[in-house]
Amino acid sequence: MMKYENEYGTLNLIPVTSALPIGDITYQHPAVQANLMTLEEAEQVALITENVGIQIGVHLSSGPPAAYVVLHYFRGSAAVCRCDIVSWHQSLPANDILEDLHKNPYAGLIPVACF
């Protein structure tokens, strides 16, 4: 298990498979099907983990959108994970925060004077 925590929230990332070749991890994989999440949850995961060492897959073609997370181990391999969002520390939805960050990618950075 990996624990992530920052100003956005806290989550536990639990691998539910061993390391698999990336090409074997698809939406149809049983471990993926058993660990799907909503787009809102995926956006929370992206903010909390800052996408460090993970990849979020999104399936859009049929039914409501669904997402899943893989944890990268080494080149070409990853594990499907269950994401337990322990807490969300924000009053805004994750999508609103991501939109604000996209509008101003330098928000929250401390300006440094260059001489």
- Which pLDDT score, from 0 to 100, does residue 108 have? 55
- Which pLDDT score, from 0 to 100, does residue 110 have? 47
Closest CA to 45 of 97, 10, 90: 10
Give me the phi and psi of 111, to 5 degrees please.
Answer: -65, 145
The 3-state secondary structure of the chain reads CEEEECCCEEEEEEECCCCEEHHHCCCCCHHHHCCCECHHHHHHHHHHHCCCCEEEEEECCCCCCEEEEEEEEECCEEEEEEEEEEEECCCCCHHHHHHHHHHCCCCCCCCCCCC
Instruction: Evaluate if residue 82 carries a pLDDT over 90.
Output: yes
Instruction: Evaluate if residue 105 carries a pLDDT over 80.
Output: no
- Which pLDDT score, from 0 to 100, does residue 100 have? 86
Instruction: Evaluate if residue 75 carries a pLDDT over 70.
Output: yes
Domain ranges of the chain: 2-103
Instruction: Evaluate if residue 47 carries a pLDDT over 90.
Output: yes
Closest CA to 68 of 9, 5, 17, 1: 17
- Which pLDDT score, from 0 to 100, does residue 52 have? 93
Instruction: Evaluate if residue 70 carries a pLDDT over 90.
Output: yes
Mean pLDDT of 27-55: 95
Distance CA 88, CA 52 (A): 18
- Which pLDDT score, from 0 to 100, does residue 63 have? 79
Share of the chain above pLDDT 70, in %: 90
pTM, two decimal places: 0.85
Q: Are the CB atoms for 19 and 73 separated by under 8 Å?
A: yes
